[in-house]
Structure 1
Amino acid sequence: MTSPSGGYDEAAVEAFRIAHGLDQPFYIQYLNWIKGAAVGDFGYSYMSEQPVFETVLNAFKNTLKLSVLALAIALVIAIPLGIVSALKHNTIVDDACRFGALLGVSIPNFWQAYLMIIFFSVIIHWLPASGFGHGTDISYMILPAVVLGTGSAAVMMRMIRSSMLDVMGKEYIQTARGKGLSEKIVVIRHALKNALVPVITVVGLSTGFLLNGSVVVETIFGWSGIGNLVVDSILSHDYMMVQGSVLFVAVIFLLVNFFVDLVYVWANPEIRYDKTS
């Protein structure tokens, strides 16, 4: 939008304002945006002139890949360690698990990310320090997924331990043991399932956090996800992209919480969402 003399071209600026509806009053702009957003039209990017929804959706697909791997890592770490910590209550095993969870909760994501880059990329050259690859190269996903997954695993592990300790003291657990059931069946079929309800809440919140994109982690590792998209859009003053991204993130978080409510019913059949409950 610059003129040959180096200043801005008033005609080009005015044409840009008209094309994007910026010449209209603010309330008209807002109503038009709401009307378009209701049918999936978030407008066009100021920078790339591409549809906002299409750009956000592509970024979300990349974040989804990273989130699935990070959540899998979190669950693989949290569930067994949480159960073991509860079963070995007040032993050195329990202390070690709690200390590991404390480290996971306390270490900031950005610091852990740089430590892993220095060790795995700079020192031993096992994994790429950053980048996106082709979006399917798992080597680019491992470091950011581990950073995201270990942080979530620490929170999940502490909740699983606490919930399991509460359930293991219930009378029906003692009854199951008195009937001669093996400890494995008692833990998995009776204790774990009944301990899941509070854990599901934490898993749901962690899933929503991962799907909405970790701004810090995606920026450090150069991952082309929705978190990185929001940062780039803010820095380039691409307000249409920022608005569309924030609305998309809010809808995803609502859907995740709705799904968590449905999972509650599966985990605990006594929970019912009807008028008689």
Structure 2
Amino acid sequence: MFVYIAKRLLGAVPTLVFVAVAVFLFVHVLPGDPARLAAGPEADEATVTLVRHQLGLDLPMPEQFVRYFDHALHGDLGQSLRTKRAVSREIADRFTPTFILTLTSMVWSVIFGLVVGVVSAVWRNRAPDAVGMTLAVSGISFPAFALGMVLMQIFSVQLGWLPSIGAGSWRHYILPSITLGAGVAAVMARFTRAAFVEVMQEDYVRTARAKGLSEWFVVVKHTFRNALIPVVTMMGLQFGFLLGGSIVVEAVFAWPGMGSLLVDSVNMRDYPVIQGLILLFSVEFIVINIVVDVLYGLINPTIHYQ
């Protein structure tokens, strides 16, 4: 197991290098001059030139990349052009609200999706299946920003039950987590249903039913573990997408997380923060994929790692 994890981590190095190069090139083709933004609107050309030199933006792009990558390997992601603080500090301050929001969204959406998917599979082509899949299609079809604004209008503006912006208490997490997790719950429900329907048609499931076992015992004892493997894969991917794709939801609810930080950084051409955030999102996907592969072995002990 440890050898397998080590191999996966080493195999992720080329991916991170490729992502670092792609992000570096992308942020440098964005319109606008970060040196002028860092110097301020009142700065003259001499000051802007001095700031550009201090930031190393007057160096050739290959040299800029080598310098950036060397610093990143030593844990130095640079300094924010806007706040003059370390990029790692900027990201650390915004990471916790985004992570807790993502975790909250993932927990309820996975539970809801699994329950709806299993119920739809057991009562396939009957009323529970129709209701469950209608909810799933609705969750996929409704845009996150529109759902967020509808929930905010009903529960914050009209009823006054829940706060609409900020992250001061657990009540602030309710509307954003529902908005962020609705699409994931819908995807999980449809994927779980498909996985369970496929497994429930296997011969060993038919044999269990022929023995007179109850349907729920067959589902829990003989179907759940095998059907859960592809579901866990989708679960891991969705968690990665939630963690890195909460930008729209954070913008709607003025959430003080990494999504809002990324939007502000793009608007201000804050290259170091943009690069640091996207590298973090890439590392998160790699780690999540490794965790999912390890979970395979826990779910199904017959799987061996090489």
Matched AA of 1:75: V
Kindly indicate which of the two structures has a greater share of residues assigned to helix: 2
Counting aligned pairs with the same residue, the percent is 39
Give me the whole-angstrom Cα distance separating, in 2, the residues matched to 1:104 and 1:22.
Answer: 45
- Give the TM-score taking structure 1 as reference length: 0.91
Q: After TM superposition, list the pairs within 5 Å mapping 1:2-151 onto structure 2.
A: 7-133=42-168, 137-151=169-183
Which of the numbers 272, 281, 296 marks the counterpart of 1:240?
Answer: 272
Deviation, 1:212, is: 1.5
Structure 2 unaligned runs (5+)?
1-35
Task: Check the 8 A contact 1:45/1:51 in 2, yes or no.
Answer: yes
Give me the whole-angstrom Cα distance separating, in 1, the residues matched to 2:91 and 2:199.
Answer: 43
Give me the whole-angstrom Cα distance separating, in 1, the residues matched to 2:43 and 2:259.
Answer: 32
Cα deviation code 1:23-80 (max 9, x no counterpart): 3222211101001111221100000011111211222222110011000110121111
SS of the aligned residue for 1:242 comes to: helix
Q: After TM superposition, list the pairs within 5 Å mapping 1:187-226 onto structure 2.
A: 187-226=219-258
Distance change (3 Å), C-alpha of 1:154 and 1:102:
same
Give me the whole-angstrom Cα distance separating, in 2, the residues matched to 1:33 and 1:7.
Answer: 29
Task: Check the 8 A contact 1:215/1:227 in 2, yes or no.
Answer: yes
Q: After TM superposition, list the pairs within 5 Å mapping 1:140-179 onto structure 2.
A: 140-179=172-211
Counterpart for residue 4 of structure 2 = none
Deviation, 1:10, is: 4.0
Cα deviation code 1:144-164 (max 9, x no counterpart): 100111110000000111111
Deviation, 1:19, is: 2.8
Task: Check the 8 A contact 1:218/1:227 in 2, yes or no.
Answer: yes
Give me the whole-angstrom Cα distance separating, in 2, the residues matched to 1:25 and 1:171.
Answer: 64
Give me the whole-angstrom Cα distance separating, in 2, the residues matched to 1:213 and 1:161.
Answer: 25
Give me the whole-angstrom Cα distance separating, in 1, the residues matched to 2:268 and 2:165.
Answer: 22
Give me the whole-angstrom Cα distance separating, in 2, the residues matched to 1:214 and 1:232.
Answer: 14
SS of the aligned residue for 2:131 comes to: helix
Is 1:269 aligned with 2:301?
yes
Counterpart for residue 228 of structure 1 = 260
SS of the aligned residue for 2:124 comes to: coil
- Give the TM-score taking structure 2 as reference length: 0.83
Give me the whole-angstrom Cα distance separating, in 2, the residues matched to 1:50 and 1:7.
Answer: 22
Matched AA of 2:300: N
Matched AA of 1:189: K
Q: Say what the alpha-carbon RMSD is for the aligned residues.
A: 1.8
Task: Check the 8 A contact 1:144/1:217 in 2, yes or no.
Answer: yes
Task: Check the 8 A contact 2:97/2:167 in 1, yes or no.
Answer: no
Matched AA of 2:91: V
Deviation, 1:132, is: 2.5
Give me the whole-angstrom Cα distance separating, in 1, the residues matched to 2:245 and 2:98.
Answer: 6
Cα deviation code 1:196-249 (max 9, x no counterpart): 111112111110011224111111111111111111100111111111111111
SS of the aligned residue for 1:36 comes to: helix
Deviation, 1:269, is: 3.0
Give me the whole-angstrom Cα distance separating, in 1, the residues matched to 2:84 and 2:227.
Answer: 50
